[in-house]
């Protein structure tokens, strides 16, 4: 599919119909106070740049950028026409808008999307392109129905067609690490699939950098390879970092399904793994028992409320509370509040006593 992008004046009936469908879906999916899609009048604001995507005479999608000032721009009105679903229109449109943002000199792209299952494909798309979860911005307020994300633009990579942030997945660190570990063990794709419960097709896509797995899939691969999630998300060569690492250079990984964010504090080779986790409002992240094998782990809550389901028990943790995980068993990390939860995970590379 070859698409033609037009800076649109919002006068054509095809565009009006697509936007009407978009608004109808937003209102059908989210409660009234949680719908933030722009209507036709709002899209005509001088601060908004609206683009349409065409294949010949057929409208295939649209998207917009709203200038927030200070180098920030907000992504709005991302929509693919029904007849073009599943053909990559959203990906091509997003990349076009990121190129536009770079050309306009913007430093960050911000967005608000839904937390419901309906929006899971959109969250995965944004995560694949380097967006990470953040707090509300520009007048938004915390809302369990919303996920807020941002991407810091890299102006040196405009020619690649995608602006890439300093995420682990930006250079397919995860895919290359999975393949390296599988090869080192002499395992086939089928062997790793059997050991992890993850399909061969999915593992192959991860290794090629074509899929950003969910936290659940990452946990299964971690358990099968007997590696911590931190190790799995680190380069296979374990390149040493300097003693000072700036916040902007800290590797991050975002679960495309829930928006769960891992920020790696410790560097490869440090005696313990220290990871900051941001669990969005309403998110639930289950982990298989095998992902806790061969490690001892401590949870330390910094902000918000965390419910840690530990087998048959559920522990409600508040800021300052810690929890030492015992023998390996299935666990679930739950944030059932309207605010994000931030906590630190400390992992030692030895078996739990």
pLDDT digits (tens, 9 = 90+) for 76-96: 999 999 888 888 889 889 989
- The size of the chain, in residues, is 353
238-274 pLDDT, tens digit per residue, is: 555 567 877 767 778 888 777 788 888 988 778 888 9
Q: Please check the confidence at residue 16 and state whether its pLDDT lies above 70.
A: yes
Residue among 294, 274, 271 nearest 353 (CA):
294
pTM for the predicted model, two decimal places: 0.55
Tokens of 228: 């911590």
Please state whether beta strands 252-254 and 322-325 pair in parallel, antiparallel, or not at all (unpaired): unpaired
As a whole number, the mean pLDDT across the chain is 86
58 confidence band (pLDDT: 50, 70, 90)? very high
CB atoms within 10 A of CB 85: 13
One fold for both 4-165 and 170-348?
A: no
186-206 pLDDT, tens digit per residue, is: 999 999 999 999 999 999 988
Residue among 303, 343, 353 nearest 323 (CA):
343
Q: Show me where the domains of the chain are located.
A: 4-165, 170-348
| Fold type of domain 170-348 | Jelly Rolls (2.60.120)
Residue among 348, 204, 342 nearest 283 (CA):
342
pLDDT for the residue numbered 240: 54
CATH architecture of 4-165: 3-Layer(aba) Sandwich (3.40)
Report how far residue 270's alpha carbon sits from residue 264's, in angstroms, rounded to the nearest whole number: 12
Tokens of 35: 């719908």
Q: Please check the confidence at residue 303 and state whether its pLDDT lies above 80.
A: yes
* Alpha-carbon dihedral sign for residues 187, 191, 196, 199: positive
97 confidence band (pLDDT: 50, 70, 90)? very high
327-341 pLDDT, tens digit per residue, is: 888 899 999 887 889
Tokens of 344: 């630190």
Where does residue 159 rank: exposed (0-12), middle (13-18), buried (19+ CB within 10 A)?
Answer: exposed
Q: How far is CA 324 from CA 302, 328, 333, in A?
A: 15, 12, 14
Report how far residue 33's alpha carbon sits from residue 19's, in angstroms, rounded to the nearest whole number: 19
Contact 277, 141 (CB under 8 A): no
Report how far residue 338's alpha carbon sits from residue 302's, in angstroms, rounded to the nearest whole number: 16
């Amino acid at each position: 599919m070859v698409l033609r992008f037009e800076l649109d004046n919002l006068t054509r009936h095809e565009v009006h119909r697509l936007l009407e469908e978009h608004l109808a879906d937003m209102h059908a999916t989210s409660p009234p106070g949680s719908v933030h899609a722009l209507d036709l009048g709002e899209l005509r604001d001088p601060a908004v740049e609206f683009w349409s995507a065409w294949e010949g005479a057929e409208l295939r999608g649209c998207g917009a950028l709203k200038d927030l000032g200070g180098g920030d721009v907000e992504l709005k009105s991302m929509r693919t026409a029904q007849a073009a679903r599943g053909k990559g229109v959203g990906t091509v449109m997003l990349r076009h808008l990121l190129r536009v943002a770079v050309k306009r000199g913007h430093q960050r792209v911000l967005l608000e999307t839904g937390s419901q299952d309906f929006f899971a494909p959109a969250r995965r798309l944004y995560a694949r392109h380097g967006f990470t979860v953040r707090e509300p911005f520009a007048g938004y307020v915390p809302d369990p129905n919303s996920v807020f994300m941002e991407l810091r633009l890299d102006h040196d990579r405009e020619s690649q067609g995608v602006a890439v942030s300093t995420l682990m997945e930006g250079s397919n660190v995860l895919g290359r690490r999975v393949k390296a570990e599988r090869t080192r063990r002499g395992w086939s794709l089928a062997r790793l699939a059997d050991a992890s419960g993850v399909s061969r097709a999915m593992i192959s896509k991860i290794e090629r950098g074509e899929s950003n797995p969910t936290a659940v899939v990452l946990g299964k691969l971690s358990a099968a390879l007997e590696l911590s999630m931190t190790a799995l998300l680190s380069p296979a060569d374990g390149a040493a970092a300097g003693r000072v690492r700036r916040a902007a250079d800290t590797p991050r990984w975002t679960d495309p399904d829930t928006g769960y964010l891992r920020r790696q504090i410790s560097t490869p080779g440090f005696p313990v793994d220290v990871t900051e986790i941001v669990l969005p409002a309403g998110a639930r992240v289950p982990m298989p028992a095998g992902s806790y094998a061969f490690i001892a782990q401590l949870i330390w809550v910094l902000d918000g409320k965390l419910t840690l389901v530990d087998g048959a028990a559920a522990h409600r943790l508040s800021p300052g509370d810690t929890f030492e995980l015992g023998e390996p068993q299935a666990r679930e990390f739950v944030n059932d509040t309207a605010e994000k939860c931030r906590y630190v995970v400390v992992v030692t590379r030895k078996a739990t006593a």
